[in-house]
Structure 1
């Protein structure tokens, strides 16, 4: 379980709170899993993400979490060197757009696209029904598309439909 899920739990924690606390939260998450081994369902990833989420909520003030995450995303979106392909600038614009979204929207998009969770699994993590999650995810994707069209790549102002296509791909719509 540890070998199969550690990286994804770590990535989830980094996306929520930054690298500064990720190792500590992941260690504590797997300590809880070890203590409650009989309670861990199959597949364990959604359960582990719930544990990690609860640890974050209990151990870090919400404002510190938001500030750390925004700083991390902005560090990923630093301007690319002139010889880097156009995709890098589009990725940068998309990450900047993601940083402008509310924390709940970012979490849904990250669970769906970067963590690869199904709506049912993501619903377990955030504590809502799968139907409610699908609606919230749809709205978060729309807000990301709007934010991405407002943040064109640095080198050139890309047409809104082009950034929206990248945004849809980035948040997992191609899996539909």
Structure 2
């Protein structure tokens, strides 16, 4: 195998599951598999443009493909339905914020109340483990703009948790003193996504 093939194989082996996990947060399983496959097809064609670390570049490609696939309004409704379906199916390894934050129903109600943009910002940092700079590349904005979006998303989540009836944890999240109070599924989902 040539150097290009070796580099692509290493890229695929390291990141395919994480790209697929990202796509699964936005699409049905069969669509997510197509998105992940197309993401790596684009990566193969544009391999010279893929920088280290490659995950932000790959997630940006997957995100663009998802945007082409579905209109924004429908995606928001579908995402809330998938969160509810995950909670009822018992397969919460992908996104069980309830076990890490608050009681399941309260957390799900708070998450479902968030706009899709907030969900994506929180997922990039807390689930996919990207830092602010990397997540900003995925969202195609500056690091400062992403930091503001993240701060606002966390604040809206804290208010949603408080409105759903979990005042103590929401208060912690609102003042930023307890990072465990936001939907930090990264320890569980991060391992599952890799």
Q: Normalised by the shorter chain, which TM-score bucket?
A: 0.7 to 0.9
Provide the TM-score with structure 2 as the length reference.
Answer: 0.74
Q: Could you tell me which residue of structure 2 aligns to residue 118 of structure 1?
A: 131
Provide the TM-score with structure 1 as the length reference.
Answer: 0.81
CA contact (8 A) 2:19 2:58 kept: yes
Supply the RMSD in Å over aligned alpha carbons.
Answer: 2.4
CA contact (8 A) 1:78 1:92 kept: no
Of the candidates 33, 36, 61, which is equivalent to residue 26 of structure 1? 36
CA distance in 2, matches of 1:10, 1:79: 20
- Runs of 5+ unmatched residues, structure 1: 81-85, 153-157
| Residue correspondences, number | 161
CA contact (8 A) 2:109 2:164 kept: yes
CA-to-aligned-CA distance 1:22-77 (integer Å, 9 cap, x gap): 10100100010011111111111000001001111112222332222111111123
Q: Could you tell me which residue of structure 1 aligns to residue 76 of structure 2?
A: 66
Q: Return the offset for 1:3.
A: 1.4
Of the candidates 11, 29, 38, which is equivalent to residue 21 of structure 2? 11
CA-to-aligned-CA distance 1:150-176 (integer Å, 9 cap, x gap): 224xxxxx5x1135548942445xxxx
- Runs of 5+ unmatched residues, structure 2: 1-10, 91-97, 185-194
Matches within 5 A, 1:73-88: 73-78=83-88, 87=99
Q: Quick check: 1:162 aligned with 2:175?
A: no
